[in-house]
């Protein structure tokens, strides 16, 4: 397995780097603010949510801005990554029908471009946290773990969606509705603390929520998440990757017939 990955890496690292560069540049091509948009979008979203929920609905969650920000940034990473991943094969169809190249590279490069984006958001997040008086400590290092698992989760979901999207274009609209549902079920602008313990456990079945929860526990409460949260993150990544790889392996040679 390891030797398989390293041999693939030496063979494809150049093309992969070039694809990541392209996907990253493509997002901000010829816009006035360029990269600024990737920050501004979620920040405005954050502003609206905080305004709405502090002024129209009374809420007493401490560090509310950071609470929402943690949720929003994990959710938008998930939604951006999987939405871009879904179209990654089709949008490169003109290359795939002319040049022989492994198709999964297009999906991976799209995901890495989203991950870089997420990295920038994370910096802004920490700046906000510092301003809001959150105390930093060594446990922040542990955040690398949910970042890794959600990235793998996104890749897995992207593998399934991109394969489906080749065959059924309608999946795009269905998935749009689905991600909206996920957003409401991810406790981004509310807290699950008021629910019963059983309901709280049920929330962990939503991988987006379990990752958000992980972030909040570390950043806002300074505690290391319990084993069942660690497990929820790991399992979501493993299951999504397994299903995604199965789909990809089974259908990838057929894609070209539908492009």
Partner 1 sequence: MTIRLENIGICYIVGDYRNLGLKDYVIQKLRGQYKAKEFWAVEDVSFELNPGDFLGIVGNNGAGKSTLLKAISGIMTPTKGTMEIGGQIAALLELGAGFDGEMTVKENTFLRGALMGYTRSFINDAYPDIIRFAELEDFQDRPFKQLSSGMRTRLAFSIACLVRPDILILDEVLSVGDGSFKAKSEARMKEIISGGATTIFVSHSISQTRSLCNKALWLDKGKQIAFGDAKDVIDMYETFLKDKKKL
Does 169 help bind partner 1 (rule: CB under 8 A)? yes
Instruction: Determine the Cα–Cα distance for residues 24 and 15; give it in Å rounded to an integer.
Output: 14
State the nearest-atom distance from the C-beta of 14 to partner 1, in Å: 5
Whole-number minimum distance, CB 258 to partner 1, in Å? 6
Question: How far, CA to CA in Å, does 186 sit from each of 1, 83, 99, 224, 235?
Answer: 35, 18, 41, 20, 17
Segment lying near partner 1 (by CB under 8 A), choices 41-49, 82-90, 117-125, 166-174: 166-174
Site string for partner 1, 29-58 (x = CB under 8 A): xx----------------------------
Q: Does 174 bind partner 1 (CB under 8 A)?
A: yes
Q: How far is the CB of 112 from partner 1 (least distance, A)?
A: 15
Residue count, binding to partner 1 (CB under 8 A): 29
CB of 25 to partner 1, least distance (A): 7
CB 42 within 8 A of CB 121: yes
Secondary structure class of 176 (helix, strand, coil) = helix
**Which phi and psi (to 5°) does residue 205 adopt?**
-70, -20
Binding flag, residue 235, partner 1 (CB under 8 A): no
C-alpha 85/C-alpha 160 separation (Å) is 9
Taking CB under 8 A as the criterion, the residue among 31, 94, 120, 221 binding partner 1 is 94
Query: How does DSSP classify residue 189?
Result: S
By the rule CB under 8 A, 222 interacts with partner 1: no
When asked if residue 257 is in the footprint of partner 1 (CB under 8 A), the reply is: yes
Does the footprint of partner 1 cover residue 170 (CB under 8 A)?
yes
DSSP run (H or E) holding 195: none
Q: Which of 6, 22, 33, 180 binds partner 1 (CB under 8 A)?
A: 22
- Contact segment (CB under 8 A) with partner 1 among 16-24, 41-49, 62-70, 236-244 equals 16-24
Measured N-to-C along each axis, helices 144-167 and 104-131 cross at an angle, to the nearest 10 degrees, of 140
Instruction: Retrieve residue 19's tokens.
Output: 């694809």
The closest of 116, 48, 46, 40 to 81, measured between CA atoms, is 116
- Under the criterion CB under 8 A, does residue 231 sit at the interface with partner 1? no
CB of 91 to partner 1, least distance (A): 10
- Cα separation, 83 vs 72, in Å, equals 16
For tokens 């489906």, the residue is 164
Task: Provide the token pair at 57.
Answer: 């609905």
Please report, as ranges, the residues that interact with partner 1 according to CB under 8 A: 14-15, 17-19, 21-22, 25-26, 29-30, 94-101, 167-171, 174, 253, 256-258
């Amino acid at each position: 397995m390891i030797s398989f990955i390293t041999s693939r890496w030496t063979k494809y690292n150049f093309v992969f780097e070039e694809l990541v560069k392209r996907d990253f540049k493509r997002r901000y091509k010829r816009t006035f603010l360029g990269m600024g948009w990737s920050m501004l979008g979620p920040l405005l979203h954050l502003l609206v949510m905080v305004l709405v929920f502090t002024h129209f609905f009374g809420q007493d969650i401490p560090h509310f801005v950071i609470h929402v920000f943690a949720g929003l940034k994990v959710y938008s990473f998930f939604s951006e990554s999987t939405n871009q991943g879904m179209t990654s094969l089709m949008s490169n169809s003109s290359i795939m029908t002319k040049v022989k190249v492994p198709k999964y590279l297009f999906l991976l490069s799209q995901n890495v471009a989203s991950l870089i984006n997420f990295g920038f958001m994370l910096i802004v997040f920490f700046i906000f946290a510092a301003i809001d008086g959150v105390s930093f400590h060594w446990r922040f290092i542990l955040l690398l773990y949910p970042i890794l698992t959600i990235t793998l989760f996104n890749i897995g979901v992207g593998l399934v969606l991109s394969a489906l999207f080749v065959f059924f274009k309608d999946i795009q609209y269905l998935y749009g509705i689905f991600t909206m549902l996920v957003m409401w079920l991810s406790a981004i602008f509310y807290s699950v603390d008021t629910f019963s313990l059983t309901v709280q456990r049920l929330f962990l079945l939503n991988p987006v929520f379990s990752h958000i929860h992980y972030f909040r526990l570390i950043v806002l409460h300074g505690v290391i998440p319990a084993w069942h949260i660690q497990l929820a993150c790991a399992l979501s990544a493993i299951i999504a990757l397994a299903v995604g790889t199965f789909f990809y392996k089974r259908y990838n040679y057929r894609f070209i017939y539908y492009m």
